[in-house]
Amino acid sequence: MADSVRSAAPGRRSDVGESGGDRLVPDPDHQGAWIVRIGGADQSWLDPSDPTRLEFDYMERIADHLDLHRPAGERMRVIHIGGAGMNLARYVTATRPTSPQIVLEPDAALTEEVRRKAPLGAHSGIKVRAVDGRTGIAAMREDFADVIILDALAGARVPAELVTTEFFAEVSRVLVADGLLVANVTDSAPLTWTRRVVAGLRATFAEVVMEAESATLKGRRYGNIILAASSAPLPVTDLVRRCAGAAFPFRVVRGGNLTKLLTGCVPFTDADAVASPGPPTGGTYFS
């Protein structure tokens, strides 16, 4: 996997459709690469000729989890909640060619544009369903997926219905016994919203870790936060090493430190959940 060359824009992608205009535009600085641009913001980046190049740092952190969960070349069934340019789905296909994948992406127009301009391979194993994450997961059978990746925003906010204890119970049902959920969310200090999401994950899964750049954890800026959860042990030592050695280092919060962070936090439920905080108005909010 190539070194990350830019930090991600937390307002990148959408779990709801947006109409009008091309949203997959050529990257003028990298021949053959494309930028998913929605509402004037660069939300995703892909190079169909090199799907292992993950330009945004948060995608590299998700890829760390994939690579540590199952070695390269080992088949795994993956569900993606949120598709955009299908960067991570392409990464899985490149590193694990026989892996079946389902992408839940309600924006059918964007999916069609991606297929037209940056088509998937004929035998990619990637199937796209034009449904939202909650609907798509509910339709999955029990013990279906090895990994579920949650990377969906409505505008610049993570939808409320994707962070509740009821939804996490559905995710747990769909995952195999040692399956992994890895999510990209966005927040800023004092991380009140994210802490409630993590509390919900801890109420559902035996193991949970949180990763972010120090500036985000310390409240100096709005940014991407990676959450990982499983009913099986997570490879914490290897995760810490990879996060620390990244071009944009992330810190891993786990165990007692995570317990302390969650003091007094109550998980979101379907009755009281809210979407994640949006980026600061007029600010720069690259993680």
- Complete domains list, the chain, with CATH: 24-261 (3.40.50.150)
The better pLDDT of the pair 280, 105 is held by 105
* 5 vs 79, more confident: 79
Residue 243 token pair: 């996060």
| Whole-number Å distance between alpha carbons of 154 and 276 | 10
Q: Which residues contact 142 (CB under 8 A, 6 or more apart)?
A: 173, 174
- At 3-26, the pLDDT tens digits run 333 555 444 444 444 444 678 899
The whole-angstrom separation of Cα 280 and Cα 223 is 11
Instruction: Please state whether the predicted TM-score (pTM) of the whole model is above 0.85.
Output: yes
Which residues sit opposite 70 in a β-bridge?
none
Cβ neighbour number for residue 271 with a 10 Å cutoff: 7
- CA of 126: how far to CAs of 11, 90, 91, 162, in Å? 25, 8, 11, 22
Cα 205 from chain centre: 18
Q: Using 50, 70 and 90 to split pLDDT, how confident is the model at 278?
A: confident
Cis omega (within 30 of 0) on the bond before 249? no
pLDDT at 7: 53
- From the list 200, 266, 206, the residue with the least C-alpha distance to 236 is 206
Element (H, E) at 59: helix 57-69
The Cα–Cα gap between 19 and 58 comes to: 27
How far apart CA 262 and CA 277 sit, in angstroms, is 18
pLDDT at 118 over 50: yes
What average pLDDT is seen over the chain? Answer: 88
Q: Could you read off the pLDDT of 224-267 as tens digits, one per residue?
A: 999 999 999 999 999 999 999 999 999 999 999 999 999 999 99
CA distance 254 to 256: 6
Tell me whether strands 34-38 and 24-26 are parallel, antiparallel or unpaired: antiparallel
